[in-house]
Structure 1
């Protein structure tokens, strides 16, 4: 993809050219909003990045520690380990540290889904920082934290109420379908039967 096409794609994704506030939120969620003096909104977006980082750190060997003979990738955080497992489908069989290819595939699917959600929030965070700054330049007014949270509650209430049902549908219906579809691209057969054996992508 050429540089011009990349720039056009990015501009279409965020809605307009990048401002200083947009670039700040590009690197740290909510930092652009903080520059725009929207502390409540900054805290809202930063909370998402903080939770994801916390999950990664708290599930890694940095916090949980490691056992003697444990494979290095077993000490990765949830997202890194899940993506690594999704790509490799496991490396060790037998013994204390046995990989289970189907479980690693499922964990990888969940990690990819959660990272896609984070990507959407990241884009929303950048777009909001840009739009708030440009709106302030035009009108001289900035949305208060109270107004923002009221807007979030009014527009997002339906999503919050339906979220449990959507999550249940994801795990009960969608996840098994994706898993079954992906297994068609592996060598899972009578000679490669987890958990006794590992499977590979073909």
Structure 2
């Protein structure tokens, strides 16, 4: 039997109406819709097209030209303004191209429907159909508009800066910016000082993310299992106490810990370490011990939220499964590895991945504890700087905007790739349609 034998026969009612003609006429927006006898719709599209060309053509043309040159006269032309106008022009041009393509597709689709006998609706019915089909888009449009100009525009500005020579010694409006291609990325991986700093900071960022996040998750799971045990009394009080560190603002906790870990007058050295060992630990002045302190602080700050998640999941696991496991002779480890752990991970894996991604960019604790210090000889970042805090220092302290932008692009790519790959590996993603 031929492959198309099971396909229903499509009967063309109006052979004279040609979808190709409708698409070709739509090269001038609205004309294809008029060919389809949708006169109000065609007139509206043509007016919008003509208004956009009349109002925005000059802005887009000048913006794209400025994006190429980034200015011509130092002190008079500000390259940052040229860059901003150029990015806005690209955004508006993208809107226009999308509108133009959709106009052609719409005309061709309506023409095909007319061929098959579809009756063109009157004005009132057309408005009703447009409202019914477009209602979800009308709701998300304001949010999309804000997203474009609050998130996408600054993001594009940062991306473009990574390909310029914008730094402390070449700053507009005194100087004009120039496009330098991938020179900033080449410097990052070829110049010894930049290369060593980048790989040292990247390795510490990965270690920090994995160790601190895994410890807070492990501690939260351990405490949640203990508190969930039927033999434990006063569960409500214990859960409240464990969630208290989450209730206190994080920056307050970090500042308090910064004082507690102080090398000279901190209570940890003065009251605990020195009486036991005779000398204090250089928590603030030695990079290794500063990293240990940061991991301990983050474990303390991060476990309450995960503990609350795990507590809710553990209470939702049916007791019948554990009873069935007892009948089968399973020990505690087998019940944990085959019942408790899989269910907890299935329910919370996406949120746990976000914990890793959040700690990868956890600027607050690094900066508030000791501003990324202590300094390291031969390195343009502090001993405990992670990528995001290093980018902050390059931007606001050293005005190395081009290098900060280049590192930010790499940072963003790492987070996106990591989150994408691990989301796809989770059972909650693979079995989403089966829930």
Query: TM over 0.5, yes or no?
Result: yes
Q: Runs of 5+ in structure 2 lacking a partner?
A: 1-17, 181-435
**Cross-structure match for 2:126:** 148
| Higher mean C-alpha displacement, 138-147 vs 179-188 | 138-147
For 1:136 and 1:111, the matched residues in 2 are separated by: 37
Provide, for residues 108-154 of structure 1, a one-character-per-residue CA deviation record: whole Å limited to 9, x for no partner.
Answer: 11111111111111111111111212221221622433333222222
The 8 Å contact of residues 29 and 100 in structure 2, kept in 1 or not, is answered as yes
Provide, for residues 136-186 of structure 1, a one-character-per-residue CA deviation record: whole Å limited to 9, x for no partner.
Answer: 122162243333322222222332233223222222222112111210101
The 8 Å contact of residues 135 and 142 in structure 1, kept in 2 or not, is answered as no
Provide, for residues 66-98 of structure 1, a one-character-per-residue CA deviation record: whole Å limited to 9, x for no partner.
Answer: xxxxxxxxxxx101001111111111223xxx2
Q: Runs of 5+ in structure 1 lacking a partner?
A: 1-16, 58-76
What is the number of equivalent residue pairs in this alignment?
A: 163
TM-score (normalizing by structure 2) = 0.35
Q: C-alpha displacement at 1:19, in angstroms?
A: 0.9
| Higher mean C-alpha displacement, 149-158 vs 187-196 | 149-158
Kindly indicate whether structure 1 or structure 2 has the higher relative contact order, using CA contacts under 8 Å at least 6 residues apart: 1
Are 1:173 and 2:151 an aligned pair? yes
**Cross-structure match for 2:65:** 84
For 2:178 and 2:140, the matched residues in 1 are separated by: 37
**Cross-structure match for 1:103:** 81
For 1:125 and 1:194, the matched residues in 2 are separated by: 42
**Cross-structure match for 1:24:** 25
Provide, for residues 28-60 of structure 1, a one-character-per-residue CA deviation record: whole Å limited to 9, x for no partner.
Answer: 100111112111110232233122112136xxx
Question: What's the C-alpha RMSD, in Å, of the aligned pairs?
Answer: 2.0
For 1:160 and 1:100, the matched residues in 2 are separated by: 37
For 2:35 and 2:124, the matched residues in 1 are separated by: 17
Are 1:46 and 2:46 an aligned pair? yes
For 2:167 and 2:35, the matched residues in 1 are separated by: 56
CA 1:91–1:18 in 2, change beyond 3 Å: closer, same or farther?
A: farther
TM-score (normalizing by structure 1) = 0.73
For 1:114 and 1:104, the matched residues in 2 are separated by: 15
**Cross-structure match for 1:66:** none
For 1:31 and 1:164, the matched residues in 2 are separated by: 29
- Bigger radius of gyration, 1 or 2? 2
Runs of 4+ with deviation above 4 angstroms: none
For 1:18 and 1:91, the matched residues in 2 are separated by: 49
